Amino acid sequence: MRRLIASPKLFLTFSFFYFFALLVFDYKTSYFNIFFYSPKVMQEGIELESSANEKTTNPNGTDHLARERQTPRHSRSDRLSLLSITKANDSPAFFEQSTDNFYAKINSLLLPSRSPNLVVQDNKVISLQQILDGVLLVLASEDIPVENISISLTDLNSEKCCNYSGFQDKQKRYPASLVKLFWAFMLKDLQDSSSLHNNSESLMNITIEDERKMLYESDNNSASKILDAISGTTSSKTPLSESEFLNWAKKRMSVNEYFYKEGYSDVNVTQKTFPIPSLEIYEPIGPDLQFREVLIDAQEPPQRNYLTSFDVSKLLLNLSEGTIISQEVSSQIKQNLLQDHTSVEIRSNPYNPIVGFFGERLPEDARVFTKIGFTESDGRQEAAIIESHDQQTRFILVVFANDPIFSQKDSAALPLIAEFVYSQMNLRSMTN
């Protein structure tokens, strides 16, 4: 020891190796992870702790959706601090915290979109929450803000249908044309019912072409006709008297009541989408404007449609599983949602449902049953049932990106999310 102290060079060498050994072998610190895991992601200090797919049932009637809850450790990086955001305004009523946790590392294998690829350890299945945490990493790596984004992910191939996870999925957001999914669903149920109410004639006057145009083309003329039929109301340019309007409003509110009875927690799907060229109505006017000025459910006027990504996922699940309406009728709706995301002709259209949406970066042989929403002021929304060609991967993905920045022509948020989720769901299916 005296010789060591007497020789500064030897002392410095010894000190270097001593402290290096402390850093490497002290596994309780993140230094071990920084040295031996992904240089791309682990340098940001991200370590995800996930549960081993513990399933739970929603006591509020949505017994088809099971939740997987995981808690990410806090990042030391301000840029990735979004990972510590509470997921989906989580409520204990919808899931349980699993005690059987395991660590999933994010390695440096990158997809073409620079997306981190989640690693499966010990043959354990990638959890849906891990995938959503990975989505947040992808968005952060592209400097895409997530404050106004909601995401819901449902695995349709899970052993007990269906595993579910969400990010800000109970946040009410403007759905744009996603509301047409709800009108189509209610229409088919009422048409299939043996006890149609007083407007049964108008219901039966809705053609297959009306349904196709509303869903596949997102046509507002057909959507207006269908909402009138299922609610027993009509739009006009002239305001109604007080008594006439109260009767009109009660009928229009019956659309919300229908979904409340089917177990949807809090939706507003009563407002038409504008413009409606066939009626020469280009903005809310007459009773539609009066309706927006009425105080409903303590929401300040003007009234707007709102949905959550959770409720949209539930509707698509009912559609996929053939619950409430028959499998045959559900299949008819699904066919109206099927988009050829490989079509050059469709992509060349300035207003198409592919570029800037899920289908832009999905594999050519994937099947995408999708409905999109878009406005200049409220960004992009999309809800889809996505399947691999061999049916081994099947899931529901719903994303609300409600901010004007997502309305920009070069917005890549939805394609990035879909590409990453599809790749990870493929990995998940391999380990199931």
Between CA 134 and CA 131 the distance in angstroms is 5
Predicted confidence (pLDDT) per residue in 23-50, tens digit: 433 333 332 232 222 223 222 322 222 3
Query: What confidence tens digit (pLDDT) does each residue in 280-307 have?
Result: 999 999 999 999 887 655 555 558 999 9
Q: Over the chain, what is the mean pLDDT?
A: 75
**What is d(CA 334, CA 368) in angstroms, rounded to the nearest whole number?**
10
Per-residue model confidence (pLDDT) at position 14: 52
| CA angle (256 as vertex; 252, 257 as ends), nearest 5 | 100
- Distances in Å between the Cα of 86 and the Cα atoms of 147, 272, 337 are 11, 33, 32
Average pLDDT of span 401-406: 96
With a cut of 90, say whether residue 360 has pLDDT above it.
Answer: yes
Encoding tokens for residue 287? Answer: 């009773």
pLDDT of amino acid 83: 28
Task: State pLDDT tens for residues 195-226.
Answer: 455 457 788 889 999 999 999 999 999 999 99
Judge whether residue 16 has pLDDT over 90: no
What per-residue confidence (pLDDT) applies to 10? 52
Examine the pLDDT at 64 and tell me if it is beyond 50.
Answer: no
Residue with tokens 């493929």: 426
pLDDT band for position 342 (50/70/90)? confident
pLDDT at 346: 83
At residue 7, the pLDDT reads 54
Residue 395 three-state SS: strand
Percentage of the chain exceeding pLDDT 90:
55
* Cα distances (Å, whole numbers) of residue 227 to 179, 235, 269, 401: 10, 10, 10, 25
Residues 6+ apart with CB under 8 A from 59: 93
The CA distance from 427 to 12, in Å, is: 48
- Output the pLDDT for position 352: 84
Tell me the CA distances in angstroms from 251 to 44, 114, 187, 255, 266, one per residue in order: 55, 50, 15, 8, 18
Task: Reply yes or no on whether the pLDDT at 166 is more than 70.
Answer: yes
For residues 377-397, one letter each, b for 16 or more C-beta atoms within 10 angstroms of the residue's C-beta and e for the rest, the string is ebbbbbbbbbbbeeeebbbbb
Long-range contacts of 352-360 (CB under 8 A, 24+ apart): 353/218, 356/380, 356/409, 356/411, 356/412, 356/414, 356/415, 357/382, 357/414, 357/415, 357/418, 358/382, 358/384, 358/386, 358/397, 358/399, 358/414, 358/415, 358/417, 358/418, 359/418, 360/414, 360/415, 360/418
**pLDDT of 200:** 73
Name the pTM for this structure: 0.73
Residue 415: pLDDT band (50, 70, 90) is very high
pLDDT of the residue at 127: 92
- pLDDT, one tens digit per residue, over 103-149 is 232 332 223 333 333 433 445 678 999 999 999 999 999 999 999 99
